[in-house]
Amino acid sequence: VIKSVVGAESDCQSISQSPNATAIKMQAFERIAIGFLKIANLCGGIHGGPVLGIGVLVILAVISQLTDMKFETLLVPYLVINVLVVVAATAITLQHGKQSREGVTIQIQRPSWSMVQTYFKPIALIALPLCATEFLTMSQGNIDILLTSLVDSETAAANYIVARRLTQILGMPLTIVNVAVLGLLSSLSARKELDGLRTVTQGVAAIGALLTLPIAAVILVAPGFVVQLVFGPGYAAAAPLCQLLTISQVVYVITGPCMLMLMQAGQGVHAMRLAMVSCVMIVALGIPACLYGSATELAWVYLASVAFLNVSAWYRCWKTCGVPTHVSLTRMLQLPEMSRLADA
C-alpha cells in the first residue's frame, strides 16, 4: 500500500519526507484530537470537553510546526490517548459508585452472573447494532483508499489519497462537535424533547457549516492553488479530485449529525442497514471503477455513497424521529439556546 502511495522507486523510510506523509499526519492528528476530546468530556463535562479539545488542537498545531515529527512517532500518542480513555472511564466508575444529579441517585453495582443473565440480552440488542454501525461507517470512510491499489497508475492513486486527506479535514469540525454534544443528545432523547433535539442537531450542523463551507468554497473555486499550497506542485493533478471529494464533505456537513441522531433515537438497526448499503456501494462500484476506469470514477463512487448514506439518514430522522438535522438559518440564530439546554 505504501508503494502504491509513494511510488515504485520509494522505500518505507522515505515516507516521512514525502508529501503523502503530510496527509497521513492529518489523519493521525484528527484521531489524536478526538481522543483528547473524549477524555475532556469524561472529566470536564459538557463545558470542559470543547474547551480542552480546542486547546489540544492548538497544542498539536504548535508541536507539528516546531518539531519534525515522523509517522512512527504519531502512533505512540494515539495509543496513549486510547489507554487513558479506558483508564479514566474505569477509575471514575469505580470511585463514584453513587452519583446524584437532579435529585436522582444512581447506584452502580458490581456485576454478577444473575445480572449478566438478566440484562445481557437487551443490552446486546441495543449495543450490537450501534457497534456494527460504527464499524461500517469507519469502513465506508476507508474502503476507497484501499481500492486505490487497483488503479493502474501509481501517480493517480497517490493523487486520490492526497485529495481524500485534504478534503477529509472539512468534516473535522462537525465530527468534533458531534462528540462534544453526544451526552446532551442522549439526555434530550431520553426526555423526548423534540424541540431541544432540533435546536441542538441543527445548531451543530450550523457550527460545522460555518467552519467548513468557506474553506470548501475556496477548494471548489481554486483547487489547484490549494493542493499546491499544501502538498506542493507535484500533486497539481489532484485538483479535480479535490472538487468531487469536497462536494461529498459538503453533503456530510449540510445534513448534520443525522447518523448520530438515528442511533440516539433508537434507530440503530436502520442506521446499520444504511451504513451497510453504503459500504456495499463502494465495493461493488469502486472495484470496476478502479479496474476499468480511473481515480476520477472512484471519486464519483465515493461521492455517491456518502450522499446516499447521509441523505437517507437525514430523511429517516425527519420522517421517523421528527428531528431534521440539516443546517437551518433560523437555528443558527438560536445557537444561544444550546447553552441554555446544556445548563438545564
DSSP assignments along 123-171, one per residue: HHHHHHHHHHHHHHHHHHTTHHHHHGGGSS-HHHHHHHHHHHHHHHGGG
Chain centroid to Cα 87, Å, comes to 23
Helix (H) / strand (E) containing 106: strand 104-107
C-alpha distances (whole Å) from 156 to each of 18, 141, 313 are: 16, 19, 32
Helix (H) / strand (E) containing 100: strand 98-101
DSSP 107: E
Predicted confidence band of residue 335 (pLDDT cuts 50, 70, 90):
low
- What is the tens place of the pLDDT at every residue in 16-55? 344 455 555 555 555 555 555 555 555 555 445 555 556 6
Q: Which residue is associated with the grid cell 471503477?
A: 289
Instruction: Name the pTM for this structure.
Output: 0.69
Residue 180 has φ and ψ, to the nearest 5°, of -70, -35
Chain centroid to Cα 30, Å, comes to 9
Residue 118 CA to residue 116 CA, distance in Å, equals 5
- What is the tens place of the pLDDT at every residue in 5-23? 233 333 333 333 444 555 5
Q: Which residue has the higher pLDDT, 67 or 180?
A: 180
Report the candidate in 158, 137, 206, 157 with the shortest Cα–Cα distance to residue 19: 158
Q: What is the pLDDT of residue 14?
A: 36
**pLDDT above 70 covers what percent of the chain?**
62
Q: What is the pLDDT of residue 302?
A: 94
Contact 291, 150 (CB under 8 A): yes
- What is the tens place of the pLDDT at every residue in 72-115? 556 666 677 667 766 766 666 566 544 444 444 545 555 566 66
Report the candidate in 136, 160, 164, 162 with the shortest Cα–Cα distance to residue 148: 160
- What is the tens place of the pLDDT at every residue in 227-241? 988 888 888 889 999
